[in-house]
């Protein structure tokens, strides 16, 4: 039997490959982005409470109302944006599902989608599966800023969507208010929609402010704002995310979501809804991760790696140009196998595998893990 692949150029994701290589060689895994520390015991107790007390059947398709209400309240407090919890907020099975649903909801065959590279790996396959055409615009190395003239030049009459991600994985760059002004000018008087991947919204450093699309009514009215509880509550394995969008966009979003997963995990939604009352858990997260970033940077200061400034996320890019002229893929493999530290080669996030001789390291780790990793990195 012959199967005609719909994604013939796609292999196993780099996260799966590098985590497997790290396990095989017992390397310290700073590749795939996930914390190695524990979840707040109160949150675990809440999941247990809801499971034990019978909240184990399907949740409403749009998500548990209590959770949607808490998200609406948080969004109003942080971004001064009003979303109707019953018509404009959908709970999803991770941000990954939300991204797929949003792309599927609006991209028709032949539509162009502007993708800023390096780009998180699930955007382009979702565009391709829907018959869309990715149009790539590269961030400018080494500070990874967006040149908005490049974005303007990439826009055509076929442009349906721009996908943005701030704080940005893998580079740690964040959108500034100048970026927002430029974006407003570009999309004004067009039918271009925006997907804003804001899963690292609470992990932003040095006093910078997260420029959520939700903050800007002119942009919010054409945006799907997507976030994930996994990053905020150290629960990447629970796979719950959400999408904020004005009513007409949310209606299209839910048309897809209801047939993609129908609904997401019930007891975990109830647990998050109650846990969200503890606002410090997200308000203090930036401080927590800034300490981790600074600790990691201090630990590797004497190494031959050069840090690329990281303004948000839990990823630090390190330039290894003074150590090796191998490609980032070759060097990351050798670093894992011979030196015992796994990382991610960012060239896999470019359609043409652009390579700047940098690697991405995840610092969402216990201090002791960072110390052990840094000791190895400093010996190279
Ligand atoms: N977008 C970005 C930029 C991410 O780093 C991740 C991390 N996994 C996701 C989306 C997906 O989030 P989730 O695990 O909630 O599906
Ligand atoms: N977002 C995480 C990262 O960038 C992991 C995503 C995944 O494994 N699919 O490392």
> Based on C-alpha coordinates, what's the Rg of the chain?
20
**Structure-token pair, residue 178:** 């100048």
Q: How many Cβ atoms from other residues are within 10 Å of residue 255's Cβ?
A: 13
Runs of H (alpha helix) within 241-307: 247-260, 266-275, 280-283, 285-299
Residue at 1 is within a domain: no
Measuring from atom 3 of ligand 1, which residue has the nearest CA?
Answer: 169
The domain tally of the chain equals 2
Residue at 2 is within a domain: no
Same domain? For 117 and 47 the reply is: yes
Residue at 291 is within a domain: yes
Same domain? For 202 and 339 the reply is: no
CA–CA distance, 102 with 254 (Å, rounded to integer): 9
**Structure-token pair, residue 160:** 């349906």
Same domain? For 273 and 289 the reply is: no
Residue in the structure block whose two tokens are 């497997």: 20
Q: Which of 22, 32, 94, 315 to mutate to test the pocket of ligand 2 (most atoms within 8 A of CB)?
A: 32
Residue at 270 is within a domain: yes
Same domain? For 157 and 288 the reply is: no
Residue at 164 is within a domain: yes
Same domain? For 116 and 236 the reply is: yes
The closest alpha carbon to 62, from 83, 87, 99, 98, belongs to 87
- Ligand (nearest to CA of 235): 1
Same domain? For 204 and 105 the reply is: yes
- Which structural domain, as residue segments, surrounds residue 297? 14-32+284-378
Residue 372, judged by CB atoms within 10 A of its CB (0-12, 13-18, 19+), counts as: middle
Same domain? For 257 and 294 the reply is: no
Please tell me the distance between residue 199's alpha carbon and the centre of ligand 1 in angstroms: 6
- The answer to whether the beta carbons of residues 240 and 229 sit under 8 Å apart is yes
Tell me the whole-structure pTM to 2 decimals: 0.98
Please tell me the distance between residue 32's alpha carbon and the centre of ligand 2 in angstroms: 5
Q: Which of 231, 239, 313, 348 to mutate to test the pocket of ligand 1 (most atoms within 8 A of CB)?
A: 231
* 99 Cα nearest atom in ligand 1: 10
Long-range Cβ contacts of 44-49 (<8 Å, 24+ apart): 46/270, 46/271, 46/274, 46/275, 47/267, 47/268, 47/271, 49/271
Residue 260 belongs to domain with CATH number:
3.40.640.10
Same domain? For 221 and 366 the reply is: no
- The answer to whether the beta carbons of residues 203 and 314 sit under 8 Å apart is yes
Residue 342 belongs to domain with CATH number:
3.90.1150.10
Over its length of 380 residues, how does the chain's per-residue pLDDT go in tens digits? Answer: 999 999 998 988 999 999 999 999 999 999 999 999 999 999 999 999 999 999 999 999 999 999 999 999 999 999 999 999 999 999 999 999 999 999 999 999 999 999 999 999 999 999 999 999 999 999 999 999 999 999 999 999 999 999 999 999 999 999 999 999 999 999 999 999 999 999 999 999 999 999 999 999 999 999 999 999 999 999 999 999 999 999 999 999 999 999 999 999 999 999 999 999 999 999 999 999 999 999 999 999 999 999 999 999 999 999 999 999 999 999 999 999 999 999 999 999 999 999 999 999 999 999 999 999 999 999 99
Q: Which of 277, 293, 328 is the last residue of a domain?
A: 277
Please tell me the distance between residue 303's alpha carbon and the centre of ligand 1 in angstroms: 30
**Structure-token pair, residue 192:** 């271009």
First to last CA, the chain: 50
CA–CA distance, 114 with 101 (Å, rounded to integer): 17
Same domain? For 303 and 244 the reply is: no
Q: Which of 277, 307, 330 is the last residue of a domain?
A: 277
Q: Which of 259, 277, 295 is the last residue of a domain?
A: 277
Residue 80: helix, strand or coil by DSSP?
coil
């Amino acid at each position: 039997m012959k199967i005609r692949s719909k994604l013939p150029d796609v292999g196993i994701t780099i996260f799966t490959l590098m985590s497997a290589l790290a396990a095989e060689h017992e390397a310290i895994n700073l590749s795939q982005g996930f914390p190695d520390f524990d979840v707040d015991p109160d949150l675990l107790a809440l999941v247990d409470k809801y499971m034990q007390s019978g909240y184990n059947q399907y949740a409403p398709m749009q998500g548990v109302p209590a959770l949607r209400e808490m998200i609406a309240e948080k969004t109003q407090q942080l971004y001064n944006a009003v979303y109707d919890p019953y018509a404009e907020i959908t709970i999803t099975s991770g941000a990954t599902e939300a991204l797929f649903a949003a792309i599927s909801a609006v991209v028709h065959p032949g539509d162009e989608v502007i993708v800023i590279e390096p780009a998180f790996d699930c955007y382009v396959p979702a565009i391709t599966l829907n018959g869309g055409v990715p149009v790539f615009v590269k961030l400018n190395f080494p500070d990874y800023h967006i040149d908005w003239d490049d974005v303007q030049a990439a826009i055509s009459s076929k442009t349906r969507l721009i996908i943005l991600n701030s704080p940005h994985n893998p580079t740690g760059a964040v959108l500034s208010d100048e970026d927002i002004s430029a974006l407003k000018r570009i999309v004004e008087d067009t039918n271009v929609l925006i997907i804003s991947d804001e899963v690292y919204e609470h992990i932003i450093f040095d006093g910078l402010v997260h420029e959520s699309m939700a903050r800007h009514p002119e942009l919010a009215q054409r945006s799907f704002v997507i976030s994930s509880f996994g990053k905020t509550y150290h629960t990447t394995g629970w796979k719950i995310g959400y999408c904020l969008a004005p009513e007409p966009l949310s209606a299209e979003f839910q048309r897809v979501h209801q047939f993609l997963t129908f609904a997401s995990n019930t007891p975990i939604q109830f647990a998050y809804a109650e846990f969200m009352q503890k606002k410090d858990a997200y308000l203090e997260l930036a401080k927590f991760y800034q300490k981790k970033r600074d600790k990691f940077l201090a630990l590797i200061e004497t190494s031959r790696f050069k840090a690329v400034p990281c303004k948000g996320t839990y990823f630090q890019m390190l330039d290894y140009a003074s150590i090796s002229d191998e490609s980032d893929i070759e060097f990351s493999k050798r670093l894992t196998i011979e030196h015992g530290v796994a990382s991610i080669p960012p060239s896999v996030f470019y359609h043409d595998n652009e390579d700047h001789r940098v690697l991405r390291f995840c610092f969402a780790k216990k201090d002791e893990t960072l110390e052990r990793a840094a000791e190895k990195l400093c010996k190279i």
